Amino acid sequence: MPVSASIADRWGPHTNSLAVRTLAAMFEAQRLPHALLITGPVGVGKRDLAIRIAQKLLCDSPDSDSTGPCRECRNCRRLYDPAQPNLDPQHTDVEIVAPGSLCAESDHDHRNTRTIGICVIRRIEHVATLAPFEADQRVIIINPADALTADAADAFLKTLEEPPDRVHFVLLTAQSEQLSETIRSRCRTLTLSPLSAEQLDAWLESWSTEAGLNLPTGAERRSELGRLARGRPGWLQSSLRDGDPITLRAAQIDDAVRIANVSRAERLDWSEQIVGRSATAQTVANLELILDAWTDWWRDLWFSRTDQRDALVHVSQLERIDQVAAMYDQKQLSQFLEKIQRTRALIQKGVNARLALDVLLLSIPPTRTTT
């Protein structure tokens, strides 16, 4: 991408949003606060925007003074390499803090943790006091900020109250209500909302060409892809890089239908296959994707029973949806959807994922005989 690239290319899919317009204005006025809190649904693009903020702060291009990061200079490329889009920033003055990050204690092993503990924050406190090594500013991204334990949040609050010079914190969360009001009050909040169908499709065309990815062909599959994304460009990016999200979703639906019609013992066996005897960060992340798919599937069944076919997500499976929906009544579908959402909330709060999934599977409603 040349240095003369458009601002839309520089700030990403949310360029025209209030959040990014506000952000650009803060940069132009040179009044960027020491702490930003970026909120929005999972997959909406919070991490992407955080990286772009770091690029803007460290960008070497003189042209970036009144626009976004050039995305081409050495510093920008070290923070985001299009050839390795999932790679964390490779710059000594930018760090992403997440569950599993290094901490201040050499004998701690956080590889399978789902939280950010106080020992991690103690190391960040020390790093923040050091002068930037290569650039003139340091950027620390916490993703997700709601993974901070209570002790870690209290310790981090002290840093926010007396921020070191030349350090910027960017906190990301899909659950801002999980953060204390005190932490939120110390940050400037930017909220990313899902894109409209038209905005998402226009961005997808541009991004897929740049990334060298082929989009599904046919109006029906393209429509279903947009419905699955629900306005979330980050979800689309990761899903399309991993393969065909429509094919993957079809396999997840196959599982949902099959599990609903097997014995209790078989359901528990499947639960062990998905989560294992001891849940790890990776198995929990995989489980959350499965619960996303189940939410869409069971909601489609509810839409079918309530004659809201225009709201269906899985438009390629209309016949199957109607067939399965006829096996349940509206109340059963509504109640089980609520149970899926409660299960997700419990898992996000750190409840034993295997136990939560077991309980959910055993509560799948029985089918009724159709006439």
Q: Are 117 and 151 in contact (CB under 8 A)?
A: yes
Lowest mean pLDDT among 93-102, 145-154, 273-282: 273-282
Q: Are 183 and 35 in contact (CB under 8 A)?
A: no
Averaged pLDDT for residues 97-101:
89
- pTM, two decimal places: 0.90
Question: Do β-strands 138-142 and 35-39 pair in parallel, antiparallel, or remain unpaired?
Answer: unpaired
Confidence at residue 358, expressed as pLDDT on a 0 to 100 scale: 97
Closest CA to 239 of 273, 265, 200, 267: 200
Read off the pLDDT band of 1 (50, 70, 90). very low
Residue 360 corresponds to which tokens in the numbers above? 């959910």
Confidence at residue 5, expressed as pLDDT on a 0 to 100 scale: 47
**How is the beta sheet containing 35-39 ordered, strand by strand?**
94-97, 138-142, 167-173, 35-39, 188-191
Domains delineated in the chain = 7-191 (3.40.50.300), 244-362 (no CATH)
Confidence at residue 274, expressed as pLDDT on a 0 to 100 scale: 94
Confidence at residue 305, expressed as pLDDT on a 0 to 100 scale: 95
Confidence at residue 31, expressed as pLDDT on a 0 to 100 scale: 92
pLDDT tens for each residue of 260-307: 999 999 999 999 999 987 777 788 889 999 999 999 999 999 999 999
Confidence at residue 263, expressed as pLDDT on a 0 to 100 scale: 96
pLDDT tens for each residue of 63-74: 655 678 998 899
Read off the pLDDT band of 222 (50, 70, 90). confident
Confidence at residue 371, expressed as pLDDT on a 0 to 100 scale: 46
Instruction: Tell me the C-alpha distance between 139 and 153, whole Å.
Output: 18
Instruction: Tell me the C-alpha distance between 315 and 301, whole Å.
Output: 12
Query: Is it the case that residue 344 has pLDDT exceeding 60?
Result: yes
Read off the pLDDT band of 2 (50, 70, 90). very low
